[in-house]
Structure 1
Amino acid sequence: MKRSGILNRHLSGGLAELGHGDGVLICDVGMSIPRGPRVVDLAFRAGTPSFAEVLDGLLAELVVEGATAAHEVREANPGAARLLEERFRDLAFVPHEELKALSAGARLVVRSGEARPYANVLLRCGVFF
């Protein structure tokens, strides 16, 4: 049994399969989930777990070299926008429809319980060396 870190076996296993350049979409409960990527649905109730909790949990275990979010988050969900801008120096913003199209290429989708709009980010995995 794992002692710490991500204990959800499906999520822990999905993270272990990732490689350099792979995409990981962290999304809210309203985001369209594309067919194809492995999906780990953590949503329990509206707001649980929050986007921030899931994001920070994944960032503690992943090497991330890039992140993309929808530019609509700035106006519709300033709290999520601020969180993303604090976590990523070179955060890219694209229209929400483009983010949905890009997410089809993700290797892993992690659905949070977040119930505020545009709390979504597509991470690009890096390497630790």
Structure 2
Amino acid sequence: MRKSGILNRHLAGALAELGHGHTVLICDAGMPIPAGPRVVDLAFRAGVPAFAEVLDGLLAELVVEGGTAAREVGEANPQAARLLRESIPALELVPHEELKRLSARARLVVRTGEARPYANVLLRCGVFF
């Protein structure tokens, strides 16, 4: 048994399979999940786990070279917008419909229980060397 880091075996295993350039969608409970990507659904109840908690945990485990979020987050969810700006290098903002389209190519989708709008980000994996 692991003693620290991500304990969920499905999520830990999926993260270990990621490589440079792969994308990971961290999404709120309402984001439509496209067919195709591997999905680890962490949603338990509305708000649990929170988007911020999951983002923080994944950023501690992954090398991230950039990310994409919906432009609408700035107005609809200022708290998430601030978190994304502070946490994600090279953050690109696109219309929500474009984010949904890009999500179809994600290697992994991690669904949270977040119940506030536009708490979604598509992370692009980097390398540690």
Q: TM-score range by the shorter chain?
A: over 0.9
1:28-107 equivalent positions in 2, closer than 5 A = 28-107=28-107
> What stretches of structure 2 of length at least 5 have no aligned partner?
none
How far did residue 90 of structure 1 move? 1.8
User: Residue type of the partner of 1:105?
Assistant: R
Aligned residues: 129
**Following TM superposition, by how much is the alpha carbon of 1:58 offset from its aligned partner in structure 2, in angstroms?**
0.1
CA distance in 1 between partners of 2:19 and 2:88 (Å)? 20
C-alpha separation in 2, matches of 1:14 and 1:86: 25
Task: Indicate the residue corresponding to 1:126 in structure 2.
Answer: 126
Q: Secondary structure at the match of 1:97?
A: helix
Alpha carbons 2:69, 2:99 under 8 Å: kept:
yes
User: 1:17: which partner in 2?
Assistant: 17
Q: CA RMSD of the aligned region, Å? A: 0.5
1:111 partner amino acid: R
Amino acid aligned to 2:23: G
Q: Deviations over 1:17-65 (max 9, x none)?
A: 0000000000000000010000000000000000000000000000001
Which of structure 1's runs of 4+ aligned residues deviate more than 4 A? none
The Cα offsets for residues 69-101 of structure 1, whole Å up to 9 and x where unpaired, read as 000000000000000001124210000000000
Specify the alignment match of 1:108 in structure 2.
108
Normalised by the length of structure 2, the TM-score is 0.99
8 A contact 2:42–2:111 mirrored in 1: yes
**Sequence identity, in percent?**
81
2-structure distance, mates of 1:7, 1:121: 22
Aligned-pair CA distance for 1:3: 1.0
Equivalent position amino acid for 1:4 in 2: S
Helix, strand or coil: the match of 1:21? Answer: coil
